[in-house]
């Protein structure tokens, strides 16, 4: 699909999918994203991404933003929050998109001013693999104010009550490795850790909804590691947790927790850093999903 200038997809999304979401309170595989990003160059660059998406047959909220290391020793770190989404939240967002006419109306803010440091807002729908986008270069248009406020409300809930993860970055400087050689290099480094132990339990953590390059690289890493005697791949299984208040009168949300089978010795993260495929490794510790105190190594594609 060719996308014309100013971030407009050129084709309106099938509104019947949004109508179904309003009626059922379920995403059904549709992803809704609200992103605010751009501005000054790093480390001041802003990238706040809220997504409503389906993950492992469940609808969830996900909020991602750059993590500012207070010690300024790490770069490219992403902080994420996850939480089960309530049907009322799904209905509210879809209803606002329909009522405002986000994908049917055009606003002056969609004109690109040609500034490299423009702070932009995007509303994105992904339906059956097709992306439909509206991009605003000079702030969110006034008619979108109810949608912006709802997004901010959900972000506050996520930050207060969601499952937090931090990935990317390292105390050591990232090493640049050709994309075609990354999986092979991971295999060599794991050999050095495996030799003195004889057995190594690994959690191969692939970023959710990754790019094709990330998925292909993760698959290549798995193929190289799975033939090594002594390597055990760890499964992360989602489990229920006690509900917490949602902020709505009498409402609550269900937390997500995870169990690792078996508990890993090491975590290998495959994702992106600054738009490039990146792989890092760190000791698992007591909570493999928690931000590590240090990384063993980090590889990044050119």
pLDDT in tens, 143-188: 999 999 999 999 999 999 888 876 655 455 678 999 999 999 999 9
pLDDT at 257 over 90: no
Long-range Cβ contacts of 173-180 (<8 Å, 24+ apart): 174/76, 174/273, 174/278, 174/298, 174/299, 174/300, 175/297, 175/298, 175/299, 175/300, 176/299, 176/300, 176/301, 176/302, 177/299, 177/300, 177/301, 178/301, 178/302, 179/213, 179/217, 179/277, 179/301, 179/302
Which pLDDT tens digit goes with each residue over 28-49? Answer: 889 999 998 876 554 456 788 8
Q: What is the pLDDT of residue 131?
A: 78
pLDDT at 117 over 70: no
Q: What is the pLDDT of residue 9?
A: 43
| Least confident stretch, 116-120, 136-140, 212-216, 226-230 | 116-120
Q: What is the pLDDT of residue 196?
A: 65
CA distances from 104 to 33, 39, 52, 57, 99 (A): 17, 27, 21, 30, 10
| Least confident stretch, 63-67, 134-138, 142-146, 254-258 | 254-258
Residues whose CB falls within 8 Å of the CB of residue 210, separated by 6 or more in sequence, listed in order:
218, 270, 271, 272
CA pair distance 76, 65, nearest whole angstrom = 10
If pLDDT is split at 50, 70 and 90, which confidence band does 248 have? low
If pLDDT is split at 50, 70 and 90, which confidence band does 262 have? confident
| Least confident stretch, 6-20, 66-80, 89-103, 245-259 | 245-259
For the ranges 5-9, 152-156, 287-291, 293-297, the maximum mean pLDDT occurs at: 152-156
pLDDT at 276 over 90: no
If pLDDT is split at 50, 70 and 90, which confidence band does 58 have? confident
If pLDDT is split at 50, 70 and 90, which confidence band does 64 have? confident
Percent share of the chain, pLDDT over 70: 76
Percent share of the chain, pLDDT over 90: 32
Between these two residues, 268 and 239, which has the higher pLDDT value? 268
Which pLDDT tens digit goes with each residue over 96-116? Answer: 999 999 998 889 998 887 766
* Average pLDDT of the chain to the nearest whole number: 80
CA distances from 284 to 32, 205, 236, 241, 259 (A): 32, 12, 13, 22, 13
Residue spans of the domains in the chain: they are: 5-167, 175-300
Query: Quick check: 84 and 58 in contact, CB under 8 A?
Result: yes
Which pLDDT tens digit goes with each residue over 14-27? Answer: 788 899 999 999 99
Architecture of 5-167 per CATH? 2-Layer Sandwich (3.30)
């Amino acid at each position: 699909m060719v996308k014309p200038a100013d971030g407009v997809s050129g084709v309106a999304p099938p509104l019947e999918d949004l109508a179904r979401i309003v009626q059922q309170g379920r995403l059904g595989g549709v992803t809704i994203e609200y992103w605010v990003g751009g501005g000054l160059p790093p480390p001041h660059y802003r990238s706040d991404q809220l997504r409503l998406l389906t993950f492992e047959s469940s609808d969830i909220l996900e909020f991602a933003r750059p993590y500012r290391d207070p010690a300024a020793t790490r770069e490219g770190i992403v902080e994420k929050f996850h939480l089960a989404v309530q049907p009322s939240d799904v209905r509210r967002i879809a209803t606002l998109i329909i009522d405002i006419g986000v994908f049917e109306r055009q606003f002056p803010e969609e004109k690109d001013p040609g500034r490299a440091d423009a702070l932009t807002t995007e509303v994105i729908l992904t339906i059956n693999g097709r992306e439909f986008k509206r991009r605003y270069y000079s702030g969110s248009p006034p008619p979108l104010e109810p949608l912006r406020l709802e997004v901010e409300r959900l972000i506050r809930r996520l930050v207060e009550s969601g499952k937090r993860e931090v990935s990317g970055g390292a105390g050591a400087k990232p090493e640049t490795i050709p994309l075609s050689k990354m999986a092979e290099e991971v295999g060599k480094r794991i050999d050095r850790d495996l030799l003195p132990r004889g057995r190594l339990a690994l959690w191969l953590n692939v970023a959710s909804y990754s790019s094709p390059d990330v998925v292909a690289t993760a698959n290549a890493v798995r193929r190289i590691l799975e033939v090594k005697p002594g390597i055990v791949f760890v499964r992360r299984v989602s489990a229920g947790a006690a509900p917490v208040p949602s902020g709505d009168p009498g409402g609550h949300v269900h937390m997500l927790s995870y169990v690792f089978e078996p508990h890993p010795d090491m975590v290998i993260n495959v994702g992106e850093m600054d738009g490039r495929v990146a792989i890092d490794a760190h000791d698992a510790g007591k909570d493999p999903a928690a931000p590590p105190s240090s990384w063993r190594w980090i590889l990044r594609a050119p």
